[in-house]
Structure 1
């Protein structure tokens, strides 16, 4: 599989000189969007490079096309050819997306009608040799619009950023950088392409890392095999970082109580601590996976869209579960480890031994939310029970996918809990393996 990663490099000395370049590029994209909409019927009939070539024929004058239908060259005089082609591709993509969304809305007119496409906050790509040239380890030349013409300027790149790329990205293919603005600073975003080969271990021979991401405990990890054997249980709590985050959030609350609603520095500190928690959590998961030579890392599919209610909604909003999953996915794929997701419903509320729903926190008579009480009276760590269920649901799904239809129906008749994946627990996996052993015998 192909992986794409992007690293940003700060431009040190220039600031306002890039504004006009970006403005011209966005105006060009808006102009080309109008061209595509007016000629969408012939454009949509073409595919791939033919679609791009047709739009370029409409706007750009050449020896074989001296009089194009639109005066793009007059409006954007001496615009670099690669920048023009990038704007054409951007415009075609936006119009294609708009037409597709509009067709879907007409079939089912729910919500607002898709708005007219605009360039928005797009940024130009600095294509090699014609827009960007690396002149040294920490210097480069880029072509921008300055002094009423397109000209080259030399920019200094931050030393630490370039050293990082030279150290960690030398084996990857570097693509054309993109000029980006973040806050008041300008960056060159360098995308890198690499190929990774994921393992193809049979489900019956796999070792998985079942991960339960939490708010109180950063993550609870169980290392499992397909027969239900638990090879390891590990907890990552990060109490010091959690206390720092709580302290930072309380400072923001105190400032807001005194009327300071805009506190960018306090929020920047809280976000930095939160990001540090995400990075350390992802590192813990990867270290566990590597130490056990795991084949798959299994997460819950956590959908955090929609309105959040309750007294702990701020903690849930600050919970960066998706960031942890994204970091782990990138690192795991680079090492050939697969990443899978299962249904999150009931993994924490159902006991792993199949005894039913658990009583958690005050409902179970505990001062902490980490412990739970099963219906049979057993007291257990709730996150650890959830990690068992997460790993079990993955194995149940993969095992049933690997058998033929008749065998699957026979197994589901003997183990009816397998029919509904959202209620499967660790005990269901044990029953499934017992049935597979009896069938094989």
Structure 2
């Protein structure tokens, strides 16, 4: 595989703080002043966007400061009231607010232009976008000017105590591990306080090194019988590791909550009627959080296995436009498909794996489960236990495990063909056909017989 340049991505850590009661009041006052400043600056920027919108960020910040910040060289700005309302606002807080307001106005102007042209209208009566004034913004802290970090145990932050801007020292309760990686560059954190808790949102500019080419691929089959079935397959078709990841306790907890919704609905409506808007809203919210927790557990397990076995590629089925079909009458298959977390698991796995320098590869989903990994042909599913499959040669095997073998095999063949085509001297552009490979095709390619014992005990 041709080596690629290291990818640059942004990831954010949460550093929990332990402020005292007076510090919580100062944090609240600081955030309130910053948000009101953003609203004020957003109105100024939108009024003068015809002249400011064409400038780059540095020139735009300077132009806005001339409009509202009074200095010796600029004694008569147009909006003198800004310095009166926001008395002694630190310059770096002011510039952070200007940068945030620039993004807000620029986004609104772009969305409004798309709405006028009809590009963003899904319906003819679609309403125009709105300009949000300082919504959910928190002060960005610049190092040396707004915060000082001497150790990971405490941090000094410049805050407003009601009258003056002073430095206060607050303890750091917990951090994550992105700051320990030398290649990561720490950016300006944001001070956030919500629901009685305070923390720093610390972004990092990550520059992961591209993993060296290893002749191994992790094949992941995402199903409803088992949340994820993982297989580590080498280029010669040898399966060196297999694992089932299925957080059953969390899944049962989610299904129990969803079952309570149907019971409450039957008691509310009876035989007819309609449910009011927001019915069981808290229950659905809790179920969404449980689903995300399940996806986090599964994606973390996939990445940990990939790192342990020094794998560079994780292969998934391409299921973006796939729509499930409901089961027979009185069957819970349709409800089980609603709890299928195929999209969020792949998304979280990709976010974690790309940060480690790996690559995600999607293969064609057709035939991965219905074809036997040993090349014996189409499989038959057990009616009593759909997770079991019977091959044409009479062998019984786990259907999801066989599918994970085929997913990894297809990824290996597709990547191998792509590398061969890239390394050819010919300039002819040949389109690669869709792969229908199974695991035994790798055995044939590596000059091994189909009956060779390629499955190592994990």
The answer to whether the superposition gives a TM-score over 0.5 is yes
CA contact (8 A) 2:261 2:280 kept: no
Report the equivalent of 1:339.
359
Distance verdict in 2 for CA 1:267–1:69, change over 3 Å: closer
Aligned partners of 2:369 and 2:402 also within 8 Å: no
Structure 2 residue matching 1:224: 3-state secondary structure: strand
Match 2:195 to one of 183, 206, 212? 183
- Please report how far the alpha carbon of residue 295 of structure 1 lies from its aligned counterpart in structure 2 after TM superposition: 1.7
Q: Which is further off, 239-248 or 65-74? A: 239-248
Which residue of 298, 307, 312 maps to 1:290?
307
Correspondence list, 1:22-421, <5 A? 22-71=31-80, 72-105=82-115, 106-108=117-119, 110-111=121-122, 112-118=126-132, 119-134=134-149, 138-158=153-173, 161=174, 164-165=175-176, 169-171=179-181, 172-201=184-213, 206-226=215-235, 228-243=237-252, 245-246=254-255, 277-300=294-317, 303=320, 311=332, 320-321=341-342, 324-325=345-346, 328-329=349-350, 331-333=352-354, 335-336=356-357, 338-342=358-362, 345-346=365-366, 350-351=370-371, 364-372=381-389, 380-402=397-419, 403=421, 419=433, 421=434
Q: CA offsets per residue over residues 18-42 of structure 1, 9 Å max, x none?
A: 3333232222222222222222233
CA distance 1:24–1:316, shift in 2 (3 Å)? farther
The question of whether the paired residues in 2 share the 8 Å contact of 1:141 and 1:153 is answered with: yes
Matches of 2:348 and 2:215 in 1, distance apart? Answer: 22
SS across alignment from 1:169: helix
TM-aligned CA deviation for residue 219 of structure 1: 1.3
Alpha-carbon deviations, 1:367-396, whole Å to 9, x = none? 333235679987653323432443344345
Residue 92 of structure 1: CA displacement? 1.3
Relative to structure 1, the CA distance from residue 393 to residue 157 in structure 2 (aligned partners, 3 Å threshold; closer, same or farther) is same
Quote the offset at 1:55 in angstroms.
Answer: 2.7
How far apart, in 2, do the equivalents of 1:257 and 1:406 lie?
Answer: 69
Match of 1:13 among 20, 25, 42: 20
Deviation at 1:231, TM superposition (A): 4.1
**Counterparts of 1:306 and 1:149, CA distance in 2:** 59
Residues 40 and 234 of structure 1: CA distance in aligned 2, closer, same or farther (over 3 Å):
same
* Per-residue CA distance 1:174-217 (angstroms, 9 max, x = gap): 3332122343422222333443211242xxx6311111223331
What is the CA RMSD across the aligned residues, in angstroms?
4.4
Residue 217 of structure 1 aligns to a residue whose secondary structure is coil
- How far residue 305 of structure 1 moved from its aligned partner, in angstroms, is 11
C-alpha displacement of 1:340: 1.1
- Residues 323 and 37 (structure 1), Cα distance of their counterparts in 2 relative to 1, 3 Å cut: same
Per-residue deviation at 1:285? 2.0
Q: Is the 8 A contact 2:318 2:365 kept in 1?
A: no
Superposition TM-score, scaled by structure 1 size: 0.74
Q: Alignment partner of 1:298: what SS?
A: strand
Relative to structure 1, the CA distance from residue 372 to residue 142 in structure 2 (aligned partners, 3 Å threshold; closer, same or farther) is same
* Equivalent pair of 1:352/1:425 in contact (CA under 8 Å): no
Say if 2:138 and 2:191, in contact at 8 Å, map to a contact too. yes
Gaps of 5+ in 1: 413-417, 435-441
Query: 2: CA distance between counterparts of 1:335 and 1:254?
Result: 45
Q: Per the alignment, do residues 81 and 344 of structure 1 end up closer, same or farther by CA in structure 2, a change over 3 Å counting?
A: farther
More helix by share: 1
- 2: CA distance, partners of 1:271 / 1:334: 25
What SS class does the counterpart of residue 108 from structure 2 fall into?
A: helix
- TM-superposed CA distance for 1:98, in Å, is 2.2
TM-score (normalised: structure 2): 0.72
1:393-415 CA deviation, whole Å, 9 max, x = no partner? 43454345431699798976xxx
Structure-2 change in CA distance of 1:303 and 1:114 (3 Å):
farther
The equivalent residue for 2:274 is none
Classify the secondary structure of the residue corresponding to 1:7: strand
- Equivalents in 2 of 1:18, 1:323: separation in Å? 35
Displacement of 1:147 after TM fit? 1.9
